[in-house]
Amino acid sequence: MAETYAGIAWTGEGYEVEVLDGAGRRVVEPSGWSGAQTAELIAWLRDFDGGRAPAVVLDSTNGLLDGPMTAAGLEVYRADPWLLPPRPGFGSVPAARLAERARTAPGELARVTAEGGTLTGRAEEYFAGVKRGEPVVAELTAAGRCFAHGRRDAPKVALTFDDGPDPVFTRQVLDILERYGARATFFCVGHHVAALPDLVRRTAAAGHELGNHSWSHPYLPDLTPEQLREQLDRTAEAVAKVTGEDAPTRFRPPYGALSPEVLAALEGYPTTLTMWDVDTRDWARPGAERIAATVLESAEPGSVVLMHEGAGDRAQTVEALPAIVEGLLARGLELVTVGELAAPPGTDGPPPSAR
Ligand SMILES: [Zn+2]
């Protein structure tokens, strides 16, 4: 492990960073960064102390930094809840506590890898939770409160982009979609919405649908029901404030982590859970050709395609997008929002105010 430890906390305003040395002494003054400054924060960490980057420590309620940081070669660790003091109602464990935990008990932290993703080391628990949640998800699907794909007899497909907006990739995605007259759905995280409101406005103004993807991209089973609903409420409010329109009515759970406990916490919450039936796994950066091939091999009428525009290097997704759009259009499939895909037969989708 590195000789210094950078705890990174998230708050309603952005990130707070505290760097401690092996003796627990503060190495630099604590710093604050906006949700739009991930690239700057990474550059600062890489150049730290003449290139001796600190080990980065996050808690499991922050799923926005490990992807770009591991891709940039930083050493990233996750401190799980049983190692940490209780969190505030909104926000992660304070940065100093994260750095301190890494300093005093480094062996207990989970090293996060690019291949394993944010939940490295907790995959079994994740899959078991999703499996236990399946009966409830089936009930919700039958009741119209969970949606993974539309009718198979109507030639429409919904492309979806998660984890944005992003200072680099959102514009590129929007430009490509505009070129083809295609519409899509963007599941935004509140942390990025607050930092990049103009991009959210541009997305909405272009006729795309906005969805809720939580505030900080947490592993939902680690939240209390109150913390979970706070993540959704704050994100919905942020989107509505920025666009001046109604708050998003769709929620896509980070990692699709719908355990029975998460589903119970969401009971009665006014939202439609929105999943997917085509997973490009673009976050693992398998190559633009692979991403395009996955969509063109798997998508069928009614499909909801999962892709990412934020919280990582999405250059491959952007590179794959023209081939994806052209391939789907060539098969006679119309590219619509999830709201339109989910609209009952005989209607043209929700009125603009509901988009
Ligand atoms: Zn996500």
Tell whether the model's pLDDT for residue 66 goes beyond 70: yes
Q: Tell me, what's the pLDDT at 115? A: 85
How does pLDDT run across 5-56, given as a tens digit for each residue? 999 999 999 999 999 999 999 999 999 999 999 999 999 999 999 999 999 9
Distance 234 CA to ligand 1 centre (A): 17
C-alpha 272/C-alpha 131 separation (Å) is 20
Distance 143 CA to ligand 1 centre (A): 25
Tell whether the model's pLDDT for residue 354 goes beyond 50: no
The rounded mean pLDDT for the chain is 95
Q: Which residue shows structure tokens 């406990």?
A: 261
pLDDT-based confidence at residue 353 (cuts at 50, 70, 90) = very low
Tell whether the model's pLDDT for residue 103 goes beyond 90: yes
Mean pLDDT of 252-260: 97
Mean pLDDT of 273-296: 97
Distance 253 CA to ligand 1 centre (A): 7
Percentage of the chain beyond pLDDT 70 is 97
Mean pLDDT of 55-60: 98
Distance 217 CA to ligand 1 centre (A): 6
Give the domains, in start order, of the chain with CATH numbers.
4-112 (3.30.420), 125-354 (3.20.20.370)
Q: Tell me, what's the pLDDT at 106? A: 85
Q: Tell me, what's the pLDDT at 243? A: 97
How far does CA 171 lie from the centroid of its chain? 17
C-alpha 31/C-alpha 16 separation (Å) is 6
How does pLDDT run across 143-176, given as a tens digit for each residue? 999 999 999 999 999 999 999 999 999 999 999 9
Strand partners, 187: 162, 211
How far does CA 299 lie from the centroid of its chain? 22
Pairing between β-strand 185-188 and β-strand 209-212 as defined by DSSP bridges: parallel
Around ion ligand 1, residues with a beta carbon closer than 5 Å are: 162-163, 254
Distance 244 CA to ligand 1 centre (A): 24
Token reading at 174: 């929007």
Q: Tell me, what's the pLDDT at 292? A: 98
Distance 305 CA to ligand 1 centre (A): 13
* CA trace torsion 137, 142, 147, 148 (10° rounding): 80
The residues annotated with a catalytic role in the active site are 162, 308
Distance 308 CA to ligand 1 centre (A): 7
